[in-house]
A and B are shown apart, each in its own frame.
Chain A
Amino acid sequence: MDTQRARKRRPVQPYPEFEDESWQPPAGAEADPERTAIHAERSRAIAVALTRITDDQRAAIVLYDIEGYDYGEIAEMTGVSLGTVKSRIHRGRLALRDILSDRMELFRG
């Protein structure tokens, strides 16, 4: 009887989850289904919006906001002046915002 009581107090296997093969460690916050769905939807919306702006604006925005080049590098790559690069980026962002105006709740959260 004492042995049984001792076993109840101190189980033989201290980590019973290791015995269960279906056990998985808890997922982090980045795996939250709602968050993943919103991110996917946002990516899809931006991808579609990027196809609807002009080629020059898209090139400038992709190089600046996504690839991380600065204004000078983009001006050198595209062969236009610094002011033109800035103008294309600003106009492109305004165009993106107009295209995404009815889905802005995806980006405000």
Chain B
Amino acid sequence: MHFNSKDIDLYASQKDYVDTAVVPLIELDLTASGMKASAGASEYLQSLTVILEKQFKGRILLLPPISYVRAADRTELGEQLKKELSETGFKHIFYLTTDPKWRSVEELDNVLWLPAIPTGDMDQSFKKSVMEDQLRQVLPLFTKEWTHHS
């Protein structure tokens, strides 16, 4: 489900079934040299999370991307996110990111780090097949988590 008022109404009435939150983490790099790569990574991550949401609409709530500047303290941000999410009823929380700095942050479990693929210059059908390949890599991680802790 998306983080909009219509889906949240449905979420509120179906809390038992929607037990997984997906949080995209996006680093904002606004320097002249890094901007394009940062935008590409953001585009990639958002497309991926949208098709992931489409596949698992009835079980995941896709939160809006958390964006932060390069200098942001990942550890602190991670702690804050974890605290906020712990007050909800989600049994499983996944963080998706292309930012390698999260790999060394111990606070968060289930951080799925994916290398960003620059999909911006691809044509529609090629982009779609690339994104579906990516999705196929991610899906088993979700189903595995669900079968292990349910």
State yes or no: do A and B come from one complex: no
A residues contacting B by CB (< 8 A) are none
Q: Which residues of B line the A interface, CB within 8 A?
A: none
